């Protein structure tokens, strides 16, 4: 039985970072321009969503991302501050749905929907590790 505290629709969380050279589209090989990459933006959005849920989870539980529908709306130069905001919009059993948005210092740079699933860490890792034994 999963032990999860009452997850509240409407709960929000924000994370901020500075766009670093390691976050560039060139570094990720996701583009040919030295700007903040879509994969880095999505990672920041996932971080905001994960951290939004952390306070609701009992020890031994975590979340994994299961779905993303994201638009990257505007480019951000390396060195500029970026932030991601996640808001819980639905809870469907162990699945939690978020509205996510990202901003730089000037404008909104991304938006979309992200879903995370609550897992028992030990059971999850055990299933993953079993994949290795199936290859032999």
Catalytic residues: 38, 46, 72
Q: Is 12 annotated as a binding residue?
A: no
Q: Is 65 annotated as a binding residue?
A: yes
With beta carbons less than 8 A apart as the criterion, state whether 57 and 63 touch. Answer: yes
Measure Cα distances from 121 to 33, 49, 63 in Å: 38, 18, 9
| CA angle at 88 for the pair 85 and 127, rounded to the nearest 5° | 100
78's CB contacts (< 8 A; 6+ apart) are 19, 20, 21, 23, 24, 34, 35, 36
**Annotated binding-site residue numbers for substrate:** 65, 116
**Annotated binding-site residue numbers for CoA:** 65
């Amino acid at each position: 039985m999963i032990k999860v505290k009452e997850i509240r629709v409407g709960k929000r969380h924000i994370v901020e970072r500075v766009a670093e050279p390691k976050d560039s589209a060139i570094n990720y090989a996701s583009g040919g321009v030295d700007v903040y990459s879509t994969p880095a933006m999505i990672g920041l959005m996932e971080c905001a969503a994960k951290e939004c849920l952390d306070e609701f989870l009992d020890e031994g539980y975590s979340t994994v991302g299961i779905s993303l529908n994201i638009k990257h709306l505007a480019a951000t130069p390396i060195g500029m501050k970026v932030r991601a905001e996640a808001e819980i919009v639905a809870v469907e059993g162990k699945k939690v749905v978020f509205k996510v948005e990202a901003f730089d210092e000037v404008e909104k740079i991304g938006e979309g929907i992200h879903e995370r699933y609550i897992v028992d860490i030990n059971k999850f890792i055990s299933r993953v590790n079993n994949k290795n034994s199936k290859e032999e």
